[in-house]
Structures are given as C-alpha cells and as structure tokens.
A and B are shown apart, each in its own frame.
Chain A
Amino acid sequence: MYIRAASNISPQNTFGNQRFLSELAGYTGDGLTCIEPDYKALIDPKIIRRMSRIIKMGVAAGMDCLQQAGVNAPDAIITGTAYGCLEDTNTFLTKMVQQNEEALSPTAFIQSTHNTISAQIALLLQCHQYNNTFVNGGASFENALLDAMMLLYEGEAANVLVGGIDEITTNSHAILKRMGLYRREQVSNFDLLNTPGKGTMAGEGSAFFMLSREASDNDWAKIDGVSSFYKPRNTAEIKQQISIFLQSQNANIHEIDLVITGNNGDLKNDAVYEQLLKYDFANAPVINYKALCGEYPTSSAFATWLAAHEIKAGGCSFVPESDQTSLKKVLIYNHYQNIHHSLILLSAC
C-alpha cells in the first residue's frame, strides 16, 4: 500500500512545513512532549474548545493528512492507541472519587472512550465508512496497519486513514515513573541512547497516514508489510520471526538499506536488540528514533513517519556520509516492554 500523505504531531518540528531536521528539539529531564500546532487552522474553534489535548492532536494530524492527500472521503478510518484519552479518563475518575460519585458532568466521560478520535474525524468529515480502534498496547498501531492492509486487499477500500496516538499526562507520567519506566536522573534526549541506564524518557505523539491501494504522483513510500508478535521466549524466536516476515515479503536481510530500531536507552529494553545488531543487522546502517520522540506504546507510528520521510528525501540524514545509499527498503523493528514486538517494511515507490 502506498503512503499518499502523512502528518505527524510529535516532540519534534514534524508538523506542517516545518523542517524538522534543521532544528531538532532538545529536552532535558525524563520526558519529551509534543510541539502542538495552531489548531484553529485545522479545526473549527468552536469545536476545539470542547476537545482535550489528545483529541486535538489526533484530529488535527488526521485532518491535515487528509488535506495533504486531497482525500475528503476516506473508505475507512482506523486508529491505534494503547491508553486512549487518558486526560479525560483522569478528569472523570478524579471527580468521581473526590465528589463521592455525586454531581458529575458527562463531558469527560463522553470523551474518555477509546474510539473518540476516529469517531470525531468521522463526524467532522461526515464519513459513514468503516471505523475501528485498536487498543492493543505496543501493537495498537501495527494492528491498525494490518486492518488497513486487509481492507485494501479485500477490495473493501481504496483509501484508508490510519493513525497511532498516545499522550502522556501528569498522572500517567507519575505512575509509570513509579513503575520504573523513566530515568530517575535528568538526562538530555540526545544523550539518552549514549548513556544506557535504568529507564528511558517518556514520549507521546500523533502520526497519521493516508494509505492507498493505487499509486499516485506524490507518494512518500510504500508499506510492504507489517507483522507483530507477542512475548517471544528468546532471541532465536525473534530471529525466526524476522526471517519469516522477510521471506513473506520476498525480501532478504541484505537488501535492507536501513534498519530503524526501537532502542530507548534502558539497559533491559535495549538488550533485546543487542544480538540482532551484532549479527543480523550488521550489514545495514542502523538508526534509532526514540531520542526524537521518547518512549510510548504507539511510537512505531513515529518510526513509520520517519522511515517514509527519509525514503521520500532519498537518503537518510541520520546515517554518516560514507554509509549513504539511496533508500529502497527500510525495516523497522520495535518492541514495547518486551511484550508486543513488531516489524514494518517500507520501500521506495
């Protein structure tokens, strides 16, 4: 399937015409937060007021993606979000506890539903077509991609809008930090991966893609395939999954021009990639991406945007000059908490 357009609200200057590479955003602490655009240009201000932050980020990236693609009636809208609308959930839950289940207002409850973003996009477009939301932890975005691929293959759709969205809130950050996910000491995102330790930096983002069955003149790249696998027992099993996936795509590891891995600076997390980097991916330039967006369950949507962006640009700006080749095939391998692992293969059009 072809990526006809993509839109990405992230902790980097990725949205709109901003040149994210010329001005990489630095963060010090234990998290990266999204650089939010001026929503008024994308959504009716009357509607914006009622929306919480993640809904704005989701709807804005979705609508921008549709505009870029010149598609106002997609055949399907599919989102992936591990946590859903956390701030709305938090608001309703907090008031419910503090007010002893009395005198509550419905707004936060209404917006706390996990499918709110895909529903709001459908509502704004008056789109009566297929609409689905995956809430499957670190494979939420991958499941949405697979759903889209199947719809295109089944002939049920020609253009599918797919997005991966997750937000970090004050409370979710505090809870995940107590669980040991984030660094205890201050760290810069640019140093995160060079100073391995315990924990990573929190991240968030909203990346949407217009995926089309037919090629168009301005496609960014193609997504050849996606695969997710669950709790592999050991590295051998991961290697086997990678080899099965590449075989199913009629691709060879030696044909991969760039590998993007999900290293996040946490020793335990990154140990999973170690063997693969040493042997399996040894012949290709390897880059990582979480220094740019932080760690969150749907970060592979950011990685997919990055891969498509670099393929469109013709070469990878994060690879030393000497290793530069034209990017024909890019493989993304990510795992979240060693639960869901995923592989996404992209290629140049």
Chain B
Amino acid sequence: MEQPVFIAGLGVISAIGNTVAQNLLSLEQEKTGIAPIQYLDTDHRDEFPVGEVKLSNAELAELSGFKHGISRTAMLSLIAAKEALADTELANLAGLRTGFVSANTVGGMDKTEDFFRDFLDDNTKGRLRNVINHECGAITNLVADQLGIRHYVSTISTACSSSANAIIYGARLIKNNILDVVIAGGTDALTRFTLNGFNTLMILDKQPCQPFDANRRGLNLGEGAGYVVLVSARIASSLKKEIYCTFGSYHNANDAYHQTASSPEGTGSLLAMEGALKKSGLQPADISYINLHGTGTQNNDSSEGTAISKLFAGHSPKMSSTKAFTGHTLGASGGIEAVFSALAVRRGLIYPNLRFETQMDGFPFTPETHFSTQPDVKHVLSNSFGFGGNCSSLIFSKL
C-alpha cells in the first residue's frame, strides 16, 4: 500500500518577501514584487521589469551565512531551505534518513558570467573560484553541506518544471521507504544569461506582466527559492507542530510538441493535470483552487487555458497565477508555488491574479482578482510547465 506523504515545513524567498510570513503578507495585501531592475548587472536594466529578491549579494551573504562570493543561486536556496527545516521543528535530524532534493536551471551562472569576461580574452585568466560552482549540482552540494545533510543529495533540471519534479521525486523517495524526510524544491537567481535568453525568444514583457489576460504581452523573469519539507507518516505523527497538508498525487508528462513552445491543444498540460487527478482518485469538481503556471506569454496561457477548459468543463475552480507577484522564477517556480499551495490548503486562502483586466476569448473562466479566505479549500492543483515539453502537476490536500 502507498504510504501517504505529509508537508511539515515551508520556506520561501522571492520578490515579495524573504520569509513565508513576508510572502503571505504581500499576497494578502496584493503587493507585487515586479519592479525595475535594481541588482542585476545588465545592459537591459531599464528595459525589462523583473521580480528580484530585494537584497544585494552582500545582504544575502549576511542573511544566509555563506561567505561572500558564493553564487546568488546558492544563497537564495540556503535561506529558504533553512527556513523550511526550522519550520518543521524536528528535534534531531541524526538518525533520520534525510534528503535534500533541489532543482535549478542556472547553477552558478551568475559567477560564470563574471569569469567569462576575463576568460574569453585569455583562457589562462579569470578567477577559478568564480566557475568552480558552475554546475547545477554544485549549488545543491553547497547548500546540503550548510544544512548538514549527507544521506541523499540530488539535483533535478527540467527547465521551468524543475522544482515540481524535485518535489515529486522527494515524495517518491519517502513512499519507497528510501528516506524519512526530504527537503524538496528549487532555486534560481536572475542572471544575464537567462534574461538575454528569454529576450531572444521575444517573450519578455516590458511592463508588469498580466497572466491569463486577453492583452497579455509576455512574462517577467523573477528569482527566488522555495522548499517544502516532506515527511513520512511515522515522522508526521511524532511532530508536535501543525502539518500543512498531504501530498501524494502528481503527474509528470511531456508535451512532445516543440523544444520551447507549448502545443495549442495543451496536450502536455492536460495529461499532467489528468494524471494527477487520476492518481488522487478525485473528480475535477473536487479541486478548490488552481495555482496556474500562468507565465503571461501568449503561448503558455492559451495552451494551459485550453487544457483547463477541457478538463474542468462545466465547473471551473478558482484559479490564479502568482507569477504576477513573483515573476517567473524558472527552476524555483514549482517550489515557491508549492509553498503558496500548501498555505492555501492549510489556511483556506485564494490568491489574486494581479493586474487581470480582460478575459481571454473563448475561455469560460476568469481568474480571481482579489485575495480571499474560503472555508472549503480541500484540494489545490499546482501546474509547472517548461521548455522541452516537461509538464508536471501536483495536488496538495487537506489533512
């Protein structure tokens, strides 16, 4: 029989706050984190608004406890992972089979960019310490070492669905009785590499983005980290603190349509959502709220919208994209949105889709426009879709 998995701790840092409490307050007050570029050193500074964490690298070093010069990706990760672990209130990790499964897409690219400026002119130049943690896995190792986790350390990278897949993998490691506790989620820092990359695809919005709006223009990039602490039933029952929710239903599917574009029919999104529902044994009407992938691009939102229309025909749940608050945090988005989803289930929260004005043509639903509390948020569906057709959906359920 399948063991249920429980979410016992949360940690997040994003454009709307450095802690879970700060993020929640911004969501409640409908305060966006999208702003002109303040920290990223780029020539496109005045062109694109982004969702930056409102701290300099020096301030992040201070807050995380890392020494100066470590990749921003690792600092964001450590801050959120530490918060999640502390929130779990585990008396002692020793003796527990503990894992750290963290996703990212950029690794230490922020530092590699600096290295490359010198290296390109002369390949004997450039400080090696700026490139030593280039690999995605190296970022996870840096953080695992600070957390004191050695039992199982893993890194996943499936573009924008990366941390949703890290959470699925973490839950399965517990269900298969390989681990007792897993800190799962992901991190990504804003880099020139990703900003310029998305710019070449011409999908960046020069204004604050408007996900799921008929007049949407594109996405705003963001940065941050989000982790949930997954525990087995045995550990959950030993904890004195509140458990947020259960997590056991998920599905990973592939759109198999194009390397960067989603199919107009939303094949992959539909398969991911359908698969997660099937695994849960729930009906579409049982879903209280969908935390959309909702990037704000023409392509994603119409593809995701089409899939939702099909699956939820006749009974659209409440839905919103919190990317209007945080920006699209890429490899961190599934983790950050898992934290928001777990809070939504635990406290009966529905988040607004900021800046929504005009309903998309041909879709029967309208995203939520204001923050509200609801007594009956039983099941929350969270979507994460990425380049390479990677589509994953997670369902968080009330205890």
Contacts and interface: CB of A to CB of B under 8 A. Distances in A.
Contacts, number: 183
Contact of B197 (A106, A114, A133, A228): A106
Interface string B367-399: 000000000000000000011111000000000
Given A92-B193, A100-B43, A111 B256 contact: no
Contacts of B137: 82, 135-137, 139-140
Given A93-B113, A136-B137, A122 B259 contact: no
A143 interface: yes
B85 interface: no
Interface residues of B, number: 65
B135 A135 contact: yes
Contacts of B267: 128
Interface string B148-161: 00111111111100
A94 B121 CA distance: 10
A101 B196 contact: yes
Given A93-B116, A119-B387, A130 B253 contact: yes
A297 to B, nearest CB: 8
A333 interface: no
Interface residues of A, number: 62
Interface in A88-130: 89, 92-94, 96-98, 100-102, 104-106, 109-116, 118-120, 122-123, 125-130
Contacts of B141: 137, 230, 339
Nearest to A76: B252
A340 B135 CA distance: 14
Contacts of B54: none
A229 B144 CA distance: 13
A123 B258 contact: yes
Contacts of B176: 150, 153-154
A115 B150 contact: no
A175 interface: yes
Contacts of B213: none
Nearest to A125: B256
B120 interface: yes
Given A119-B259, A175-B131, 18 more contacts: A89-B193, A92-B197, A106-B197, A109-B193, A113-B105, A115-B386, A118-B388, A119-B388, A120-B259, A134-B154, A136-B140, A137-B155, A139-B137, A140-B155, A147-B169, A178-B124, A228-B152, A230-B151
19 contacts: A104-B200, A115-B159, A115-B388, A116-B259, A120-B259, A129-B253, A129-B254, A130-B254, A131-B253, A131-B390, A132-B165, A135-B155, A135-B156, A136-B137, A136-B153, A136-B155, A154-B176, A175-B123, A229-B151
